[in-house]
């Protein structure tokens, strides 16, 4: 192995659409390849030209920026794809990896369908950084984006993930954190939860415990900044809860979700709130 550090690749990259990850806080997390591709790109498609402009200024790169979000008209994507046939074109988001709870899915899909070379330039991603430090099982995980700000939709979304035997990873906002933790505590009082906050930044922290304890902590110390919320997989003991589906289905034939949850809770000793959320979900199927 050579002791020489790699340097920024020189030469112009091949034409294509380069999906370039950018830092999620610490600017030193930009990769050498990202700098080379951004420096060579004929166009950089981005969510917010001011945010990307700042990053480029920091890197000493002057480039043509094209605003692109999920509401951009198809012509904008078509122009970017046409350009990518003949030159390197980059897609970045405000922070982290494009397409991960960020725009770009349509552009990538259409570029691939058009036969354009689509190239990954990987780097920071908050979900992966959170998973890497949370101390929760990382062999199987499910990234589920942002939870809904609405109570009922949030509960239903969580209940729908009850049977997943993997660590669950969400993006969360500081003002909504406590409510989400309370909803998780109601469903899964025994699961280990982690809150990874301000990753790669000055006030980075990762706190784990039960959802109820974390909710109490953040009620007393309102959090600031950006958050990844992680929920450990169900323990073996939680498994019988999955059998409740059959009982709930049977009870739902004659009863509404509330009554059905009550009946099954009495019969099994399973938490009524969890059963109610699951009953709502089963009813919607
Ligand atoms: N595409 C980005 C990525 O790869 O991480 C995520 C974009 S999503 C719109 C923004 C959310 O990511 C934030 O609301 C927060 O939940 C999470 N996030 C971004 N940066 C973070 C950081 N430094 N620490 C913790 N969470 C972060």
To the nearest whole percent, how much of the chain has pLDDT over 70? 96
Residues 80 and 138 in one domain: no
Pocket test for ligand 1, best of 22, 170, 201, 226 (most atoms within 8 A of CB): 226
3 lies in a domain? Answer: no
226 lies in a domain? Answer: yes
Pairing mode of beta strands 88-91, 43-46: parallel
Residues 115 and 41 in one domain: yes
Q: What is residue 255's predicted lDDT score, i.e. its pLDDT?
A: 87
For 33, residues 6+ apart whose C-beta sits below 8 A from its C-beta are 9, 121
Q: Which residue has the tokens 């709870």?
A: 101
Pairing mode of beta strands 205-210, 192-197: antiparallel
Number of domains in the chain: 3
Residues 98 and 158 in one domain: no
Residues 120 and 151 in one domain: no
Mean pLDDT of 26-30: 97
Query: Is 63's pLDDT higher than 80?
Result: yes
Closest Cα to atom 2 of ligand 1? 96
Residues 208 and 246 in one domain: no
Q: What is residue 237's predicted lDDT score, i.e. its pLDDT?
A: 61
CATH of the domain at 208: 3.30.950.10
The residue among 93, 124, 155 that closes a domain is 124
Residues 185 and 215 in one domain: yes
| Domain carrying residue 253 | 240-284
1 lies in a domain? Answer: no
9 lies in a domain? Answer: no
pLDDT in tens, 127-159: 999 999 999 999 999 999 999 999 999 999 999
Mean pLDDT of 206-230: 98
Burial class (CB in 10 A: 0-12, 13-18, 19+), 137: middle
201 lines ligand 1 (CB under 6 A): yes
227 lines ligand 1 (CB under 6 A): yes
Q: What is residue 42's predicted lDDT score, i.e. its pLDDT?
A: 97
Residues 187 and 277 in one domain: no
Residues 231 and 251 in one domain: no
Identify whether the C-beta of residue 261 lies closer than 8 Å to the C-beta of residue 279.
yes
22 lines ligand 1 (CB under 6 A): no
Query: Is 263's pLDDT higher than 70?
Result: yes
Question: Alpha-carbon distance 34 to 150, whole Å?
Answer: 38
Question: Alpha-carbon distance 178 to 216, whole Å?
Answer: 8
> 246 pLDDT band (50/70/90 cuts)?
confident
Question: Alpha-carbon distance 211 to 225, whole Å?
Answer: 19
The residue among 106, 124, 142 that closes a domain is 124
Residues 75 and 144 in one domain: no
Residues 52 and 91 in one domain: yes
Query: Is 257's pLDDT higher than 70?
Result: yes
Nearest to 85 by CA among 15, 139, 189: 15
Q: What is residue 284's predicted lDDT score, i.e. its pLDDT?
A: 82
The residue among 89, 124, 159 that closes a domain is 124
Residues 192 and 255 in one domain: no
Pocket test for ligand 1, best of 96, 149, 169, 224 (most atoms within 8 A of CB): 96
Structure tokens at 186: 């109601």
CATH of the domain at 108: 3.40.1010.10
117 lines ligand 1 (CB under 6 A): no
Query: Is 250's pLDDT higher than 80?
Result: no
Q: What is residue 251's predicted lDDT score, i.e. its pLDDT?
A: 83
Q: What is residue 49's predicted lDDT score, i.e. its pLDDT?
A: 97
Ligand 1 atom nearest to 229, measured from its CA: 16
Q: What is residue 10's predicted lDDT score, i.e. its pLDDT?
A: 86
SS3 113: helix
Question: Alpha-carbon distance 226 to 94, whole Å?
Answer: 13
79 lines ligand 1 (CB under 6 A): no
Question: Alpha-carbon distance 66 to 76, whole Å?
Answer: 9
Count how many Cα atoms sit within 13 Å of the Cα of residue 2 in the half-sphere of its side chain.
3
Question: Lowest mean pLDDT: which of 2-6, 44-48, 52-56, 157-161?
Answer: 2-6
| Averaged confidence pLDDT in the chain | 93
To the nearest whole percent, how much of the chain has pLDDT over 90? 78
């Amino acid at each position: 192995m050579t002791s020489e550090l790699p340097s920024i690749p020189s030469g112009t990259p091949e034409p294509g659409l380069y999906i370039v990850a950018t830092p999620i806080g610490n600017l030193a997390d930009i990769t050498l390849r990202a700098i080379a591709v951004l420096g060579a790109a004929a166009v950089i498609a981005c969510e917010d030209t001011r945010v990307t402009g700042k990053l480029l200024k920091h890197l000493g790169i002057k480039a043509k920026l094209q605003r692109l979000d999920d509401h951009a008209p198809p012509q904008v994507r078509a122009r970017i794809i046409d350009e990518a046939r003949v030159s390197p074109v980059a897609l970045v988001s405000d922070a982290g990896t494009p397409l991960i709870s960020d725009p770009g899915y349509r552009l990538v899909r259409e570029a691939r369908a058009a036969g354009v070379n689509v190239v990954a330039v990987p780097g920071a991603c908050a979900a992966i950084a959170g998973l890497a430090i949370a101390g929760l099982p990382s062999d199987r995980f499910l990234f589920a984006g942002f939870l809904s700000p609405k109570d009922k939709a949030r509960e239903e979304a969580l209940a729908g993930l009850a049977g997943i035997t993997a660590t669950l990873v969400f993006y969360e906002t500081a003002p909504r954190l406590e409510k989400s933790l309370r909803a998780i505590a109601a469903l899964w009082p025994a699961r280990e939860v982690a809150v990874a906050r301000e990753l790669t930044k000055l006030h980075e922290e990762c706190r784990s415990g039960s959802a109820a304890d974390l909710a109490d902590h953040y009620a007393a110390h309102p959090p600031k900044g950006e958050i990844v919320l992680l929920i450990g997989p169900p323990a073996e003991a939680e498994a019988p809860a999955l059998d409740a589906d059959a009982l709930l289905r049977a009870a739902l034939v004659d009863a509404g979700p509330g009554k059905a949850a009550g009946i099954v809770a009495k019969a099994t000793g399973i938490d009524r709130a969890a059963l109610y959320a699951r009953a709502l979900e089963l009813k919607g199927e």
